Chain A
Amino acid sequence: VAKTPDRIFKVILVGDSNVGKSSAIQRFCFNTFSDDRRPTLDITFQMKTIVTAQGVTSLQIWDSAGQERFRSVPRLYFRKADGVMLLYDVTNETSLKNVRSWISNIKESAGNNAVIMLLGNKVDKQRTVTWEEGHAVALQCKAVFLEISAKSGENVPQAFEALTRILKEREEGDMGIPPSTGTPLGETIEVTSNNRTERFDVARL
């Protein structure tokens, strides 16, 4: 018998303009997609509850404006985030290049233990950034890595579920409770994408 959520995690999506942050949220929360999204000019959030074998978790998912001129603003929100999903566009090399500055921006303001996940979006399109390139950046930044498509929906729920799992396990570890799935804290977690199973450090950033 499922339990009611014992925790609400705050997750914020960041990344350059037009990498598909709002679309990823739309796909995850409503399972829809629209091609003509206008740029996000605000910070909004959606509630979404995930029911997994480990239990029920509510996510408060924050969408942020990616435009350059708002670059300084999301810092206000990093501070309170449990998890950060940093998106880039696999058809846009610059968006991957900017990942590093996003990461330092996050670490500066979050300065805490937010879990960072790097997501390469738009794999439904002709890519110019390879999986290996994205993966390499993720390794350097100690971020969990996945490639997704908000348009086709590929790996979108998996991304949110993986992040939730990490957050849950880490929190249980914090509480001194043995993790429910048997993954010890500070070790690794497996994420499967494109038939590749990756093991990632869940150590604090």
Chain B
Amino acid sequence: MHDVGRSAFSNFEGSTGKNELTSHLLERDKLMPLYMAKRQDDYTSTAPFNVFVGTWNVNGQLPTEPLDAWVSSEATPPDVYAIGFQELDLSKEAFVFTESSREEEWMRAVKQALHPGASYKLVKHIRLVGMMLLVFAQDRHLQDITAVASHHVGTGLLGKMGNKGGVGIRIMLHNSSLCFINSHLAAHLEEIQRRNQDYEDICSRMKFPDPEGQSISVFSNDVLIWLGDLNYRIDKLPLETVKERIEKGQYEKLKEHDQLTNQRREGNVYPDFEEGDLTFRPTYKYNPGTDEWDTSEKCRCPAWCDRILWKESAKAKLLKYQAHLSLKISDHKPVSAVFKINVKVINRELYRKVYEEEIRRLDRMENEWLPTMVLNQHSLEFGTVKFQQAVQRTVEILNTGQTPCHFEFIGKLGEKAFCKPWLTVGKPKGYVLPGDKLVIEFEVYVNKNTAPSLNKEEDKIEDILILHLVGGKDFFITVNGKYSPSCFGTSIEALCWMKKPIEQMDRKELTRLVWLFKSRDWQVNNEKHHSSQMLNVPKELWRLLDHLYQYARHQPDLFQQPGLHEELKMIQENLDSQLPTVGTPLPGSNHSVAEALLIFLEALPEPVIPFEYYNMCLQLYNNYDQGQELIHKMPPHHVNVFNYIISFLQELPKYEENGLNLHLLATIFSGLLLRPSSVQRKQNTEGRMDRMKATSFIEMFLKKKLIE
């Protein structure tokens, strides 16, 4: 199921469509074991388990005598057995071949000797050349044994050969880990250092894989039991004295010369291990088949070569430590130790309860750590919005969570932009630290690009913004406002139809008009028919030009100085709300009125020379007759406006103070009267040349009429 989890996660997308993993969800399977380990005491109780540990160097012999006297020496049947052998097979082949018939024979011998008071099964066995370790457990415990693993470490020649070294088995018994190491360390009296080194090597190289895929060292276990032919000898004492002390049972005194005891006391090997009292005869070296000490040529000094050590004493208590002298086939005697190990037993009901508690805590933690913010308002009311008049609102966001917030405005399904084109957001993405505030500015600004669809009510000042917290919730911010239609951004035809100021028009009628005049058919078929009911040119345009002619024709730098924003706003409002009255000038300075004219022309959804004539006009930039012909093919009101503006502009250079000449006027107005649509602009690559042609085209008209 692990792979299933992974693949599921890889499809797990955040709201932005990126692979946005929320908090540390992925880590749960890693975290839960740690949290559960911490709570272990809450769902486990300890139960004593009887563990029998045996070790025997069998000197390459076959099991020709029964092992009961060693393996079944206890009255009560042990719960778990760990039996280790050394020198199982001394043949040369055993170094090379991994198969060994001795393995089977000895295993069978052990099985036959297991305590008759219970039924056992082999949990695991491992062999490295002559070293074999077998772990058995009573049938009733098998279901509680998990994570069984084994490993071997050779410390022979090249640090690899398996004639010396160790084999290990690790099991989880209920919730306690038990580790058994069976080792055969370097031989010979003087090789203390090598034995110590073998121990170090086994410790550092013995690793058990656990189900999580990590490797566990021998020391990361509740109980570690080390058995084997450790080969430490009795030294600095004459052979006869050794034998004499043994005969007198003076093991305590003899122990003073035991290398292992001394090395341990000096801290050179097996630090922090425990060993039981040596109250038995040394287990090496006997004449095979007897209880007599070695009488061979070498005449080895007796030694406690075969030992069992363990840690920790808090979790394992030694009940018995002894040698079994009645077994005679080897030159070693087998040794056994019986432990009472306090095993942590899981109470399934409690485990489940604690598990649920912990997982709830993780849920809670995760929920608490989700990024979260508070907004001082969720809806933005922009009120009445007018053409090119920016309205600002703000939202204050406060990070009330415990983690930094990474916020970002995101688009709705199928929409590329996260907001309408007339809205800009001051900070579309960013970070807020816990406890900090941030003010986000929103500005609605309707320009010539966005005005037409608002005029048509194709679009409204309405939007829902999604403020997304990365890894957290999404807020909705609603945007509302009322677009007040303006003559700016309204078509020439619609304006010619309106006898009233645009603000006094019925909204529905207005929308109908805007849609109506958009249709080409209407222009072709009905415009002439209706033109008697329509104004010749938009009254707003008339007011602007009339004002300029009357009051501004002597104005120095006319059309070359920008207007004032406030005045532009007043002019726009005046045009949108007032009917022209004779003798009442527009508000604002001459420069402002001049700029208002430019803005008016720029905002026309269809310019004075409609887009479809643009390319043709450019081609006729030096051909007045055909140009004139083309202009007269335009819709009548466009023709009117064109002629009206041209004749107005022609008047201006007559007044020297304003500093205007025809070329300058053509340059200023050609970009407004004769301009490409956005599509055309993209198609025409020679922008600079096109602009020059457009200027020439307009200038040609300005000049021509003058000459006539």
Q: In the docked arrangement, what's the CA distance between A124 and B475, Å?
A: 31
The yes or no answer to A47 lying at the interface (CB within 8 A) is: yes
Shortest CB distance B646–A (Å): 49
Determine the chain B residues whose CB is within 8 A of the CB of A45 once the complex forms. 22, 370, 472-473
Determine the chain B residues whose CB is within 8 A of the CB of A104 once the complex forms. none
Q: Is the CB of B1 within 8 A of A6?
A: yes
Q: In the docked arrangement, what's the CA distance between A10 and B9, Å?
A: 11
Determine the chain A residues whose CB is within 8 A of the CB of B466 once the complex forms. 73, 76
The yes or no answer to B262 lying at the interface (CB within 8 A) is: no
The yes or no answer to A5 lying at the interface (CB within 8 A) is: yes
Given A41-B475, A73-B466, verify A58-B4 contact (CB < 8 Å): no
Given A51-B355, A51-B359, A56-B359, verify A8-B12 contact (CB < 8 Å): yes
B5 to A, closest residue via Cβ: A6
The yes or no answer to A152 lying at the interface (CB within 8 A) is: no
Which of A49, A65, A75, A79 is B359 in contact with, Cβ under 8 Å?
A49
Q: In the docked arrangement, what's the CA distance between A60 and B472, Å?
A: 11
Determine the chain B residues whose CB is within 8 A of the CB of A49 once the complex forms. 359-360, 362-363
Q: In the docked arrangement, what's the CA distance between A69 and B412, Å?
A: 14
Q: In the docked arrangement, what's the CA distance between A75 and B475, Å?
A: 15
The yes or no answer to A80 lying at the interface (CB within 8 A) is: yes
B365 to A, closest residue via Cβ: A47
Determine the chain A residues whose CB is within 8 A of the CB of B464 once the complex forms. 69-70, 72-73
Determine the chain A residues whose CB is within 8 A of the CB of B346 once the complex forms. 1
The yes or no answer to B367 lying at the interface (CB within 8 A) is: yes
Tally chain A residues at the interface, Cβ within 8 Å.
36
Q: Is the CB of B25 within 8 A of A58?
A: yes
The yes or no answer to B268 lying at the interface (CB within 8 A) is: no
User: Of residues A51, A76, A175, which shows the largest number of chain B Cβ atoms within 10 Å of its Cβ?
Assistant: A76
Q: In the docked arrangement, what's the CA distance between A73 and B477, Å?
A: 11
Determine the chain A residues whose CB is within 8 A of the CB of B362 once the complex forms. 49
The yes or no answer to B348 lying at the interface (CB within 8 A) is: yes
Interface string of B452-494 (1 = CB under 8 A from A): 0000000000001010000011111010000000000000000
Tally chain B residues at the interface, Cβ within 8 Å.
39
Q: Is the CB of A51 within 8 A of B352?
A: yes
B31 to A, closest residue via Cβ: A4
Q: Is the CB of A42 within 8 A of B474?
A: yes
The yes or no answer to B236 lying at the interface (CB within 8 A) is: no
The yes or no answer to B389 lying at the interface (CB within 8 A) is: no
Determine the chain A residues whose CB is within 8 A of the CB of B474 once the complex forms. 42-44
Shortest CB distance B67–A (Å): 37
Residues of chain A at the chain B interface (Cβ within 8 Å): 1-8, 10, 29, 41-49, 51, 56, 58, 60, 65, 69-70, 72-73, 75-77, 79-80, 109, 171, 175
Shortest CB distance A82–B (Å): 9
Determine the chain B residues whose CB is within 8 A of the CB of A65 once the complex forms. 476
Determine the chain A residues whose CB is within 8 A of the CB of B351 once the complex forms. 1-2
The yes or no answer to B38 lying at the interface (CB within 8 A) is: no
Determine the chain B residues whose CB is within 8 A of the CB of A56 once the complex forms. 359
B364 to A, closest residue via Cβ: A47
Determine the chain B residues whose CB is within 8 A of the CB of A79 once the complex forms. 413
Which of B12, B359, B412 is A73 in contact with, Cβ under 8 Å?
B412
Nearest 9 CB-CB pairs, A to B?
Answer: A44-B473, A4-B29, A6-B5, A43-B474, A42-B475, A6-B1, A49-B359, A41-B378, A76-B413
Given contacts A6-B1, A41-B476, A58-B28, 19 further A-B contacts (CB under 8 A): A1-B348, A3-B1, A4-B28, A5-B28, A6-B2, A7-B8, A8-B12, A42-B476, A45-B22, A46-B367, A47-B366, A51-B359, A72-B413, A73-B466, A76-B15, A76-B412, A80-B13, A171-B4, A175-B4
Which of A47, A48, A73 is B476 in contact with, Cβ under 8 Å?
A73
Given A1-B348, A42-B475, verify A77-B15 contact (CB < 8 Å): yes
Interface residues of B in 12-48 (CB under 8 A from A): 12-13, 15, 22, 25, 28-29, 32-33
Q: In the docked arrangement, what's the CA distance between A69 and B476, Å?
A: 10
Q: Is the CB of A8 within 8 A of B32?
A: no
Q: In the docked arrangement, what's the CA distance between A43 and B246, Å?
A: 85
Shortest CB distance B169–A (Å): 22
Q: In the docked arrangement, what's the CA distance between A42 and B359, Å?
A: 27
B351 to A, closest residue via Cβ: A1
B22 to A, closest residue via Cβ: A60
The yes or no answer to B356 lying at the interface (CB within 8 A) is: yes
Q: Is the CB of A75 within 8 A of B413?
A: yes
Q: In the docked arrangement, what's the CA distance between A58 and B356, Å?
A: 12
Q: Is the CB of A51 within 8 A of B413?
A: no
Determine the chain B residues whose CB is within 8 A of the CB of A109 once the complex forms. 413
A174 to B, closest residue via Cβ: B4
Q: In the docked arrangement, what's the CA distance between A41 and B477, Å?
A: 8
Determine the chain A residues whose CB is within 8 A of the CB of B478 once the complex forms. 69
Shortest CB distance B147–A (Å): 12
Determine the chain B residues whose CB is within 8 A of the CB of A80 once the complex forms. 13, 15
Q: In the docked arrangement, what's the CA distance between A56 and B28, Å?
A: 12
Q: In the docked arrangement, what's the CA distance between A82 and B478, Å?
A: 28
Determine the chain A residues whose CB is within 8 A of the CB of B1 once the complex forms. 3, 6
Determine the chain B residues whose CB is within 8 A of the CB of A44 once the complex forms. 472-474
Interface residues of B in 330-386 (CB under 8 A from A): 346, 348, 351-352, 355-356, 359-360, 362-363, 366-367, 370, 378
Determine the chain A residues whose CB is within 8 A of the CB of B367 once the complex forms. 29, 46-47
Determine the chain B residues whose CB is within 8 A of the CB of A51 once the complex forms. 352, 355-356, 359
Which of A7, A29, A42 is B5 in contact with, Cβ under 8 Å?
A7
B32 to A, closest residue via Cβ: A4
Q: In the docked arrangement, what's the CA distance between A151 and B49, Å?
A: 52
A60 to B, closest residue via Cβ: B22
Shortest CB distance A68–B (Å): 12
A49 to B, closest residue via Cβ: B359
Determine the chain A residues whose CB is within 8 A of the CB of B2 once the complex forms. 6
Determine the chain B residues whose CB is within 8 A of the CB of A2 once the complex forms. 351-352, 355-356
Q: In the docked arrangement, what's the CA distance between A72 and B463, Å?
A: 11
Shortest CB distance B34–A (Å): 11
Q: Is the CB of A43 within 8 A of B473?
A: yes
Determine the chain A residues whose CB is within 8 A of the CB of B348 once the complex forms. 1
Q: Is the CB of B473 within 8 A of A42?
A: yes
Shortest CB distance B626–A (Å): 52
Given A4-B32, A5-B28, verify A70-B476 contact (CB < 8 Å): yes
Determine the chain B residues whose CB is within 8 A of the CB of A43 once the complex forms. 15, 473-474, 476
Interface residues of B in 417-473 (CB under 8 A from A): 464, 466, 472-473
Q: In the docked arrangement, what's the CA distance between A72 and B462, Å?
A: 13
Q: In the docked arrangement, what's the CA distance between A44 and B22, Å?
A: 12
Determine the chain B residues whose CB is within 8 A of the CB of A73 once the complex forms. 412, 464, 466, 476
Instruction: List, sorted by A's number, 30 A–B pairs whose CB atoms are closer than 8 Å.
Output: A1-B346, A2-B351, A2-B355, A3-B1, A5-B29, A6-B2, A6-B4, A7-B5, A8-B9, A8-B12, A8-B25, A41-B475, A41-B476, A42-B475, A43-B15, A44-B472, A44-B474, A45-B473, A46-B367, A47-B25, A47-B363, A47-B367, A51-B355, A65-B476, A72-B412, A76-B413, A79-B413, A80-B13, A80-B15, A171-B4
Determine the chain A residues whose CB is within 8 A of the CB of B29 once the complex forms. 4-6
Q: In the docked arrangement, what's the CA distance between A29 and B367, Å?
A: 11
Shortest CB distance A111–B (Å): 11
Determine the chain B residues whose CB is within 8 A of the CB of A75 once the complex forms. 412-413
Q: Is the CB of B15 within 8 A of A48?
A: no
Given A3-B1, A58-B28, A76-B413, verify A48-B363 contact (CB < 8 Å): yes
B14 to A, closest residue via Cβ: A80
Given A47-B367, A76-B412, verify A8-B476 contact (CB < 8 Å): no
Q: In the docked arrangement, what's the CA distance between A1 and B363, Å?
A: 20
Shortest CB distance A148–B (Å): 21
Shortest CB distance A45–B (Å): 7
Determine the chain B residues whose CB is within 8 A of the CB of A10 once the complex forms. 12
Shortest CB distance A118–B (Å): 23
Determine the chain A residues whose CB is within 8 A of the CB of B473 once the complex forms. 42-45
Determine the chain A residues whose CB is within 8 A of the CB of B12 once the complex forms. 8, 10
Q: In the docked arrangement, what's the CA distance between A74 and B33, Å?
A: 37
A9 to B, closest residue via Cβ: B8
B411 to A, closest residue via Cβ: A76
Q: Is the CB of A7 within 8 A of B22?
A: no
